[in-house]
Amino acid sequence: MSFTCTKLLLTHSQIWHSATIHPFLQQCHLGTIKSEQFNTWLVQDYFFVVEFTRMVGRVLASAPLHHFDVILGGLAALQDELSWFKQKAAQRQLNLDTKRQPKCQEYCEYMHSLGSKPYPVQATAFWAIELAYNQGWQLPGEMPVPYNEFANRWGNAGFTEYVKILEQQADEVLQVAAADIQQQAEEAFVKVAKFEQNFWQMAFNAG
């Protein structure tokens, strides 16, 4: 098999499983997640999305022109997502003027560091981050109110298709990348998976 995103998923299936199937998400599905746990996730994920938006801007700066449309579409969606997070926080009377927790801060710093990496590495990380949310909110199955709104945002068919296009764009540049860049992309994939697992655990520990 040539070097592709699918190969990364197969090679690192165990760590990817931990990144996308977590008690936090399972308890959202069961409706048993505690408010403190979910609220912790919501606030910290807002901080994450702020930095992720900056990361996607840097991905655009490195991308070939024919990848622009997809990335620009992602940026437009993130603008809406940040406003949506603010609305959800206001509904729950949560303070967004607070500190990032250490696991969130580490993830944000890592996303910032990707700006100095070759485009195939950035494209791989971009795809992996979006896929983690797509699968994480999709795999548990239908969720009850109010968690269904969150699950539908990242688990809907349109978002799934968007993630598939990100995978195609990453594959395009990975397959012609030098071996050392492919290795960096693989390392980025593993790091994203571990950061995702740690992020869910951070929120879960709040309970």
Q: Which sequence positions are flagged as catalytic? A: 196
Q: How many CB atoms lie within 10 A of CB 23?
A: 15
3-state secondary structure of 98: coil
CA distance 198 to 196: 5
Q: Which two tokens stand for residue 153?
A: 């945002």
Percent helix, strand and coil across the chain, each rounded to 5?
80, 0, 20
Angle CA(31)–CA(33)–CA(39) in degrees, nearest 5?
Answer: 120
List phi, psi (to 5°) of 154. -110, -10
Taking phi over 0 as left and psi of -120 to 50 as alpha, with beta for the rest, 145 belongs to beta
Query: Angle 13-20/179-205 helices, nearest 10 degrees?
Result: 30
